[in-house]
Amino acid sequence: MRIQTFDTTLRDGTQGEAVSFSVEDKILITRKLDELGIDYIEGGWPGSNPRDKDFFERARGLKLTHAKLTAFGSTRFAKNPVEEDRNVQLLVEAGTPVISIFGKSWDFHVAKALGITEDENLAIISDTVSYLKAHGKEVVYDAEHFFDGYIRNPAFALRTLEAAKKAGADVLCLCDTNGGTLPDQLGKIVAEIRARFDGTLGIHTHNDSDVAVANAIAAIDNGATHVQGCLNGYGERCGNSNLASIIANLELKRGHTTIGPEKLQELSAACRYIAELANLPLRNDQPYVGKSAFAHKGGIHVSAVLKDSATYEHISPDLVGNRQRVLVSDLSGQSNVVYRLRQHGLADTLSPEARRDLLARVKDLEHDGYDLETADGTFELFVHEALHPDVHFFDVEDWQVSIKSGHATADVKVKAKGSIHTATATGHGPVHALDVALRNCISELYPSIGEVHLIDYKVRVLDTKKGTDAKVRVLVEWSDHQKSWSTVGVSDDVIEASWNALVDALRLELMRLQ
């Protein structure tokens, strides 16, 4: 069955505590969601803030190939005739083909929040939907707090849907606004509504009970054909239902069509793209699209995965644009090492004894605080060192760094090709000064290191109880314009940890080129 997808990342998602998008961000995300094949993109509430109003003005020039841009707002204020209601007028002026409006379905909210009668609330819903339909708009009616309202006063909740339906609403979307309904009850209610109303029935769930995705699936199992949510599950409080997980479940587990199998392969990339613009890390453990969704660490697991990935993977990761990863850590077995060797094209290079020695080295370093799950470059260097124990492009004889009046100066001495090379350099900080000095020592001997540059730098304190005496782990990401990799250093001195990661990055690049 074809299920309509409605993404509200740019509206409901921005109500999340740490989520903020500029107008330019929202334009870029709109394009990405359109490319992904999302049917409706809710861009914001033009009557609520200048940023959303500006977005809709700029969005008039967008050439969307699939999605329908949607403006969001409320039904008219009780005191206003609909044609004089400023918020409703701004919705029309937004120029979108679709408008999504919410109205009250719970008698408790009608009495407490609005302070009006039930009949007045029904008139508000009817007037607003009719007015928008008269202006040629496709109307999605969001029945706010529907499940809470239906459980407590089903007769009134049904009357609100009837008012919207008779006025011409194209979609009746049932909202679990407080996120407190569980799947069995929600599914039963949706089935009851489906039996009473024809046309498109939608579902909008929140994750306050950690079942938003399950609730959305339950609704579709019981007759809903329109689903709302946010990629990555952004949103107020505990977030909206994660539309990425819903799409993958519907396509791969229920046999429905949403964005289609080809677009599904772009799902992980789209989630990462939006996370970057939100300046929030994509959760590693996010189902389907997270970095750890198909990661294997335990040796027994890895041994089985090497024989058949279905032993510990519920789908093939490439279906959603993700990839399988095998981690090397103190929990690893030899199967983990074999897998990583295959990744680097070195599967047949190390003897069983050398593999055991490599695994022992990994476990010892992990015990000391190293993290080789993310430092793929450091692990690769260890492999090359195991293969070529006598190869030393350069050995560090001495290094030191001083900081005075905000300026860092580094002195480095290395032994390379039988000679001692020294250099002094200044930098914007101690790590930069050391980087420049080391390159000055060896760049004439090894010009290729000029291609290696730092692109990310992270520091983590490993034992916070020790305060400033704590050991730290520095993870540095590098690139040579062809590929990127990470190296790691651990020390109770952050500069020394950074230095170790720097030296390993340059050694690895030279090892690769031999």
What mean pLDDT do residues 306-314 have?
Answer: 68
Over residues 188-201, the pLDDT tens digits come to 999 999 999 999 99
Mean pLDDT of the chain: 88
DSSP state of 486: E
Q: Is pTM, for the whole model, over 0.75?
A: no
pLDDT at 373: 59
Q: Is the pLDDT of residue 316 over 80?
A: yes
Q: How much is the average pLDDT of 284-301?
A: 76
User: Which of the residue ranges 41-45, 58-62, 181-185, 295-299 would you say has the lowest mean pLDDT?
Assistant: 295-299
Task: Name the pLDDT band for 210 (thresholds 50, 70, 90).
Answer: very high
Render pLDDT for 362-417 as a digit per residue (tens, 0 to 9). Answer: 677 766 667 665 677 888 888 888 778 888 899 999 999 999 877 899 999 999 99
Domains of the chain as residue ranges with CATH = 4-278 (3.20.20.70), 295-367 (no CATH), 395-513 (3.30.160.270)
Q: Could you report the per-residue pLDDT of 6-60, keeping only the tens digit for each?
A: 999 999 999 998 898 999 899 999 999 999 999 999 999 997 788 898 999 999 9
Over residues 431-445, the mean pLDDT reads: 92
Contact of 291 with 283, CB cutoff 8 Å: no
Q: What is the pLDDT of residue 60?
A: 92
Positive or negative CA dihedral for 72, 78, 79, 82? Answer: positive
Please choose, from the candidates 33, 30, 19, the residue with its C-alpha nearest in 3D space to the C-alpha of residue 61.
30
Q: How far apart are the C-alpha atoms of 332 and 297, rounded to whole Å?
A: 6
What SS3 state is found at 270?
helix
**What is the helix (H) or strand (E) element at residue 23, kind and residue range?**
helix 23-36
Structure tokens at 120: 């007045």
Contact 204, 174 (CB under 8 A): yes
User: Which residue matches tokens 């799409």?
Assistant: 247
Q: What is the pLDDT of residue 301?
A: 62
Q: Which residues contact 163 (CB under 8 A, 6 or more apart)?
A: 122, 123, 125, 126, 129
Percent of the chain with pLDDT over 70: 88
**pLDDT at residue 264 greater than cutoff 90:** yes
Question: From residue 38, how far is each of 31, 270, 271 by CA, in Å?
Answer: 10, 11, 13
Residue 108 in this model has a pLDDT that exceeds 50: yes
Q: What percent of the chain has pLDDT over 90?
A: 60
- pLDDT for the residue numbered 336: 56
3-state helix vs strand vs coil in the chain, percent to 5: 45, 20, 35
pLDDT value, residue 306: 60
**Region of poorest pLDDT, from 74-78, 81-85, 457-461, 486-490:** 457-461
Q: Please give the Cα distance from 188 to 415 (Å, whole number).
A: 75
Residue 272: what pLDDT?
A: 85
**365 vs 362: CA distance, rounded Å:** 5
Q: Is the pLDDT assigned to residue 346 strictly greater than 60? A: no
Neighbour-count burial for 384-401, b at 16+ CB within 10 Å, e otherwise: bbbeeeeeebbeeeebeb
